């Protein structure tokens, strides 16, 4: 049976935690929480990011999480809570499910993505161009 993106999103939503934007705002300065921006660098330059967010392009997620990968990033080995986000919450839902399946214990995604964050009054910053 063929699965479409809606099926994959429904499966993800059934097993992951979704943090509404208003609740995510309260986590912004929590040292135990890492916001992970999955968007393309061009999106970040255009729309800004959550201040202090860790950028992990969606295409590198699995390689950066796996400690056995030559591309592993130490941040994913830290005992933190990871809140993934994208533009509207679709990529982050799928990424959170994948991260959870890969063994990250405390994983969630920002419902509605950075769009909802901004609508809730969340601050953003535009990083300097590379």
Q: Using one digit for the tens of pLDDT, what is the confidence trace for 36-60?
A: 999 999 999 999 999 999 999 999 9
Chain centroid to CA 75: 13
The superfamily (CATH) of domain 16-119 is: Rhodanese-like domain (3.40.250.10)
Q: Where are the domains of the chain?
A: 16-119
Contact by Cβ (8 Å): 38, 56: yes
- Global confidence as pTM: 0.95
Band (pLDDT 50/70/90 cuts) for residue 90 is very high
């Amino acid at each position: 049976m063929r699965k479409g993106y809606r099926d994959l999103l429904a499966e993800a939503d059934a097993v992951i935690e979704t943090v509404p934007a208003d609740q995510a705002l309260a986590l912004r300065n929590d040292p135990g929480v890492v916001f992970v921006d999955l968007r393309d660098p061009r999106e970040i330059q255009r729309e800004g990011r959550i201040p202090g967010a860790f950028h992990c392009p969606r295409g590198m997620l699995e390689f950066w999480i796996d400690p056995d990968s030559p591309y592993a990033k130490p941040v994913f080995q830290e005992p933190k809570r990871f809140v993934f986000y994208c533009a509207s919450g679709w990529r982050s839902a799928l990424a959170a499910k994948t991260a959870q399946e890969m063994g990250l214990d405390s994983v969630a995604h920002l419902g509605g993505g950075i769009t909802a964050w901004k609508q809730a009054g969340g601050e953003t910053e535009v990083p300097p161009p590379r």
